[in-house]
Amino acid sequence: MDYLPLFFDLKQRPVLLVGGGDVALRKARLLIRAGAHITLIAHRVLPELQEMLELHQGQVLVGEYHPELLDDKVLALAATDDDVLNERVHYDAVARNVPVNVVDNPRLCTFVFPAIVDRSPIVIGISSGGQSPVLARLLRAKLETLIPSGYSRLGQLVGRFRDQVKARFGTVNERRVFWESVLQGQVAERVFAGRDADAEALLDEQIRAGNASHQTGEVYLVGAGPGDPELLTFKALRLMQQADVVLYDRLVSPEVLDLCRRDADLIYVGKQRDNHAVPQEGINQLLIDHARQGKRVVRLKGGDPFIFGRGGEELEQLKQAGIPFQVVPGITAASACSTYAGIPLTHRDYAQSVKFVTGQLKHRTTELNYAELIQPNQTIVFYMGLHTLNQLCSGLVAHGKPADTPAAIVSRGTAQDQRVLVGTLETLPQLQAQAQLPAPAIVIVGEVVALQSQLSWFGEESSPVIHDR
């Protein structure tokens, strides 16, 4: 271990900062966040830096550095481009036993600044000992995605109730078990959802009850997006990695499913045309039963759960059963697949509105309001439209949409084997009869489709495009 990680309390304590440029500005911001009283010495000081220090009761001295400035200081920083001056600050500080950091010069540092993930009171520091600051910053970025900002409010909440928990539970082990249950349960999730008052009330209730381990579980309705795991939201990933049970659809890609917690129970409840692994009523009951057992349940749906995902139906049942739930939106297929195919859904020259339509309605009917769909300057996206493609195209033409209107099928959008079929309302059914692109797929109708050949960008070699234009 090259450096011992320590956390330094600088609140109301004097620190010397040598330098007045951009680097000094960055360090001053960090020191002010820690509550330090800064004395700055430099020949020239950035106006922004001077204003910042004056606002936070700092002292700005314009002139020459001298060793006496280190008197009574608890920390010193040299942030100049003058190597001789930086060395002077180092040796003067060491002689006075003042910890010193010379920016970008580990040899002259008795301490180094880590890359910081700040969720105060939770603070995480990552250091490479000055060997690779870029690597430390990259690791910090990874942690930032895994630790939501709500952990700051959660830490503050826990701090307010520490004494009550200590008084309620007599042993260290009892307190540990209690806090583990709280921090992995509904109290934490309510904080993350921005429901701080509810979280505080629930925590108070659990303390008075003396037990947090027998609470009803919770259901997380999570949009898994179109298949590319990099399109998941941070919140979706966090909930997937803490779920006890995952109920997942056919449209959830293996790559996304692989990101779930390793020891979670994975239950397939997917639906194919005329082949439902578990009926919808059974899915609803599974969600309720597992939650009543105190489990955290993720209902993982392809795309977005509120866009042709029957998410509303499932939540109605959870609400009636008194099961708490959260909804995490996902990138819906219309947005993701059109983007990966190079087809903008709106464009000032072609379309000022877009409609999302299911090509397969309840009870297998396809009665659509064609009068709405044939309006000009509009893009139409059909979900689940492959099996009714002939009826959709002929219906649009029969109701007045020009037969040469550009139309496309995007099959397995965002996946490495994505394929795009481009034609017109007149030619697309025949092209699909020959190509037999598989589901899942969306159908896009509108003048914006004509831009596909210009704007295509994703996997052009492995994702062939078939044109009839």
Question: Considering 118, 244, 271, 295, which one is annotated as catalytic?
Answer: 271
Instruction: Report how far residue 429's alpha carbon sits from residue 446's, in angstroms, rounded to the nearest whole number.
Output: 16
**198 catalytic, yes or no?**
no
307: annotated binding-site residue? yes
Pairing of strands 441-445, 378-383: antiparallel
Kindly report the length of the chain.
469
**Annotated binding residue 43:** yes
Q: How far is CA 11 from the centre of its chain?
A: 33
Residue 193, annotated as binding a ligand: no
Report the C-alpha gap between 334 and 382 in whole angstroms. Answer: 8
Half-sphere exposure of 364 (CA within 13 A, CB side): 3
407 is in an annotated binding site: no
Q: Is 333 annotated as a binding residue?
A: yes
- Number of C-beta neighbours around residue 413 at 10 A: 26
Say if residue 304 carries a ligand binding annotation.
yes
190 annotated binding-site participant: no
Find out whether 288 is annotated in a ligand binding site.
no
Burial class (CB in 10 A: 0-12, 13-18, 19+), 367: exposed
Query: What is the C-alpha separation between 11 and 34, in angstroms, rounded?
Result: 6
Q: Is 214 annotated as a binding residue?
A: no
107 annotated to bind ligand: no
**Using CA of residue 419, residue 422, residue 425, residue 429, what is the dihedral sign?**
negative
Residue 343: exposed, middle, or buried by beta-carbon count in 10 A (0-12, 13-18, 19+)?
A: buried
Among the listed residues 27, 92, 228, 249, the single catalytic one is: 249
Sheet holding 465-467, edge to edge: 353-358, 378-383, 441-445, 406-411, 419-424, 465-467
Question: Residue 82 catalytic?
Answer: no
Nearest to 217 by CA among 240, 194, 186: 186
Q: Check the annotation: does 1 bind a ligand.
A: no
Backbone angles phi, psi at 357, to 5 degrees: -135, 140
In angstroms, the CA 453 to CA 447 distance is 13
**Where in the sequence numbering do the catalytic residues fall?**
249, 271
Task: State the binding site.
Answer: 22-23, 43-44, 226, 302-304, 307, 332-333, 384, 413
Residue ranges for the known binding site for NAD(+) are 22-23, 43-44
Q: Which residues are annotated as a binding site for S-adenosyl-L-methionine?
A: 226, 302-304, 307, 332-333, 384, 413
